[in-house]
Structures are given as structure tokens and as C-alpha cells.
Amino acid sequence: MKYTLMVLALLAPLTAAASLGATEAEPEPNAFVQSVRELHRGPPVQQTRNIANVETRWFTLKLDNFNAANNATWKDRVLINEDHFTAGSPIFIYLGGEWEIEPSSITSGLWVDIAKEHNGSLIYTEHRFFGKSFPITPLSTKNLKYQSVQQALADVVNIIKILKQEDKYKDSKVLVSGCSYSASMATWIRKLYPDVILGSWASSAPLLAKVDFAAYMEVVGQSFKQLGGQYCYDLINNATSYYQKLFESGRGAKAKKELNLCASFNAKSEHDRWQIFSTIANVFAGLAQYQKPGNYDLPRYCSVLRSFSDDDAEALSLFVQWQLGYPKCVSVSYQGTINYYKWAKNNYEDDTGLPWIYQTCSEFGWYQSSGSPNQPFGSSFPATLYTDTCHDAFSPNYTLNHIEANTAATNAEFRGIDIDVNNVYWTQGGLDPWSKVGAGEAQGATIIPQASHCSDLGSISLNDSPVLMASKLKLKQLVKDWLAQ
């Protein structure tokens, strides 16, 4: 069936990383880990027929940008497209976030079109600890102390310094853009280094760090209600409350069977129950976060959901298994997740998601919990699921208080959505769950109705809604204005 093929292509399978000398076997694929990773995959890859020369270069950077006594270095991967570049023209950087970089983001799309207009060079920087850019290994908690947004921003500034030693770049002005976390970076780098970065475009930037990000699932629910239909919302709501009631009334074995959970799932473990409900919600969130209204994604997914069964609970169970790629059984044990993350410390070659989880513990939180009553995924996955994961996967230091203090420190540094910064253009999707921690109209952001996460990266198209089109034209003009400053 064609849907199966489509989803298998969407979900990066949890393939085994080569075990680097260690003898430990990869833990069984874990549906919770898979669902979290899916929410942090890179921006949608642009469809392109453009032939472009993208060069890969490795920049030698400092392991610790803030300690002069530590002279350890590493090599960061950077992609460069100079097809449109003439000497002295601007540098257009696209910032990598918590994903592996790939060429299409600097060969087509709106940012590329704008760069062309100014004879600019396009540069895609890989964020430390993602893709192929590891400053230090293994990914022990001790080594991950070098993972932070401040370090990553200083890396980008150092890449610019190195580029500017070349004659053709010495007079180039520098603009940056980003999507999702890399849009937060685009905002923050302009604030911290206004003399280096002339202006920024930030598409779907979360700006306010927050441990319990309960509003996220509200917007996921709204997306299904508005685009999929009330029946779809009600179906999800009814099915999750059915399973929740089974667990709460001591009939966990029945729920385990009906959800096809693996033997390792312990119906009596609170943490295991948190994981299954969180996984279900994440599966739906992944669809909502990258839905394209023009493609009728959510109405289609809702009709598939309904078509699995007339029984709401059975339909939801089958839909989730389909989205997970039809595993033999759905593996969602808490200990399985912790084992996977511990294994990932030595087996980092594949994108395991571990360094991002670390950053949520040490800087951002953003735990997508069931804390709001205004969403259809029940009330069984508190932020504690994630803070306990910090504690058990990284260090006993990660108590809730400690994680709260970490997010407070991030907000003290960047000032959340009230950040004081200029020459930054924020764009948001009206149905993007992340917009709840991003700039709003009051901060000057453009809100694109019904759009989701990073949905405005493509070239100007006749299919663009009027607001989307206007926003793209506004960005073009802003770039012109900034470059004229």
C-alpha cells in the first residue's frame, strides 16, 4: 500500500551505527526515541533540479571557545556554494541546527534566490556534535559540557573570521538565516555579535526556554481539529482516554495487548506508561509540525486514521504502528530508552539525538508534556518523563530544580521573546506548535495563517498564500535595506 512506502521514507530508520570497538549490541529500536528524533529532523529537503557545485570544507575550530588555556581543536564540516558569488559580495549563511547538514538547503529555496540577487556566497555550517562534526568523543556527560549554543555561535563567528582571511571575502557583509533551533541561533548570533552579523532571518524560532512546554500539544490538537476536522480530534481524544482508563483501572495487560507493546513494557511502571502516551502524541505532533496546508496532509492522515477501524481505540493503535513502520511490537520501555541513550554515547556515528537531549537538559527544556487539558492526548506524560531522562541518562545532578535553573539562565542571557535586538526578521506558522515560545506580532513577527514549522523556506511560488507571498517579498526588501546600511 502506498502509504506504507511514503512513511517508511519519512521516518529515518534506527539503523545500527558501527560499534566503535565496543562489543555492546545496539539496544532494540525504541519507539519513543524514534518519535522524539522524528520531531528534530532537519528542515524539509527542498525539491530541486538545480545543478550546483557544493564544496565541502573542514574548518579547524577550538574545542572550547571561552577558555584561552584550552588549545584543543577539531574540524567542523561546512558546505559552500559559490556558484553565484563575485568577490566582495555578501555571505549568506544558513545555520545548521540539531541535524546533519545536506546540500539542497543551499542550492534552492528563498534564501538561495535572495543570495543570487546579490551575487552572494552560500554557506551551510554544521552545528557541533551533529552530523559529522564532533569536537570530542565519546559523548560522555563530561565531554558534552562542550555542547552549548554559546559555543556553537562562537564556532560560526570563527568560521566567518577564517573566511574573511581570503581576499574575495574580506569586504563581504554577512547575513544569516535559520529554521527552528537554528532560527533561535540566527536571532541570538545577531544579538551577541552585531558587528559580525548584519541581519538575520529566523523562521520558526523558539526563543523562550521552558521546562514544561505544555502549550505545544495544544497547537498539535488545534491543527488536527482545524485542518483534519472535529471528528479527527474527537477520535484521538476518545482513543487516548480509553487507553488511559484501561491503565488506571488495573487493566494494563489489555491495553498492552491492544497497543501491541513489546514484552519489555511493564504496565505497572509509571515511566513506561508515560512513554507510550508521549510516543502516541509525538507521532501526531510529527505530522502536524511539518504539515503543508496546500497538500491537505492532515485531512488525508485523518481519513487514513479513520479507515483503519470504526473503533476509535483500534484505529489509533493501528495508525501509530503504521507511522512507526510496523515494528513487530512497539517498544516503549523507559529503561530501554535510557539504555539506548547510554549506548549512543559510544555509538554516535548515526544521528542518535543524544546531543540534542543533552541541550534540552542543560539549556532549553521544551518538554512536550500532557500538562494542558486542552489537547487530545490524555494527561499521562508529564515533563517529569523528560527531566528523569536527563537524570538517568546524563547525571544525577539533573534534578528538576537544576534543569529549571538552566532554562532560567538561558532566558536571563537572551531575554526570551522580549529580546532586545534589531535587523532580525521573525516568521511564524499560525499552526506551528513552536510559535508558543517564539516572537509574536507584538515583537514584529509575521504570522502565516495555517502554516506549520519552517514552512516558508521555499522559493516564491504562485501557490503561496497572500500572507506567505507578502512575507517573502518583505524579507527580500529587508535584506536589500540591511545591505545598504
Please give the residue ranges that form the binding site for ligand NAG (CB under 6 A): 69, 71, 86, 89, 118-119, 141, 238, 242, 311-313, 395, 397
- Angle of helix 110-117 versus helix 466-484 axis, rounded to 10: 40
Find the helix or strand (DSSP H, E) in which 441 lies. none
Backbone angles phi, psi at 352, to 5 degrees: -90, -15
Inter-residue contact 94 to 86 (CB < 8 Å): no
- Helix orientation angle between 31-39 and 334-344, rounded to the nearest 10 degrees: 60
For ligand NAG, the closer CB: 248 or 441: 248
Least distance CB 421 / ligand NAG (angstroms) = 27
Among 254, 258, 321, 296, CA closest to 11: 321
Residues in a beta bridge with 427: 203, 446
What cell does 193 get? 555579535
Nearest CB to ligand NAG, comparing residues 89 and 278:
89
> Helices H, strands E: what count in the chain?
16, 10
Phi, psi at residue 43, to the nearest 5°? -60, 155
The answer for residues whose C-beta is within 8 angstroms of residue 403's C-beta and 6 or more apart is 211, 361, 365, 387, 390
Three-state DSSP class for residue 479: helix
Q: How many CB atoms lie within 10 A of CB 252?
A: 20
Cβ 198 to ligand NAG shortest distance, Å: 15
Rounded least distance, CB 82 to ligand NAG, Å = 13
The DSSP string of 119-151 is T-EEEEEPPTTBTTB-SSSS--TTGGGG--HHH
Cell of 37: 528524533
Residues in the chain: 485
Task: Report in angstroms how near the CB of residue 311 gets to ligand NAG at its nearest.
Answer: 4
Comparison of 50 and 230: residue with beta carbon closer to ligand NAG: 230
Measured from the CB atom, is 285 or 313 closer to ligand NAG?
313
Q: Between 50 and 86, whose beta carbon lies closer to ligand NAG?
A: 86
- The secondary structure of residue 261, as a DSSP letter, is B
Least distance in angstroms from the C-beta of 396 to ligand NAG: 7
Give the shortest CB-354-to-ligand NAG separation in angstroms.
15
Residue 234 Cβ vs ligand NAG, minimum distance, rounded to whole Å: 7
Q: Which is nearer to ligand NAG, 63 or 192 (CB)?
A: 63
Q: Smallest distance, Å, CB 184 to ligand NAG?
A: 24
Return the DSSP state at 377: S
Using Cβ positions, the residue closest to ligand NAG within the complex turns out to be 313
Residues facing residue 74 across a β-bridge: 61
Min separation Cβ 469 and ligand NAG, Å: 23
Residue 459: helix, strand or coil by DSSP?
coil
**264 and 336 Cβ atoms separated by less than 8 Å:** yes
Which CB sits closer to ligand NAG, 116 or 164?
116
Q: How far is the CB of 315 from ligand NAG (least distance, A)?
A: 8
Nearer to ligand NAG, 21 or 396 (CB): 396
Report the b/e string of 379-398 with b at 16+ CB within 10 A. Answer: ebbbbbbbbbbbbbbbbeeb
Q: Name the phi and psi angles at 441, rounded to 5.
A: -60, -35
Pick between residue 295 and residue 397 the one whose CB is nearest to ligand NAG: 397
The three cell numbers locating residue 311? 473503533
Q: Which is nearer to ligand NAG, 306 or 415 (CB)?
A: 306
Query: Closest separation between CB of residue 397 and ligand NAG, Å?
Result: 4
Nearer of residues 360 and 428 to ligand NAG, judged by Cβ: 360
How many Cβ atoms from other residues are within 10 Å of residue 13's Cβ?
A: 10
- Give the E-state strand segments of 393-457 in sequence order: 424-429, 446-448
Q: How far is the CB of 312 from ligand NAG (least distance, A)?
A: 4
Nearer to ligand NAG, 46 or 89 (CB): 89
Phi, psi at residue 436, to the nearest 5°?
A: -65, -20
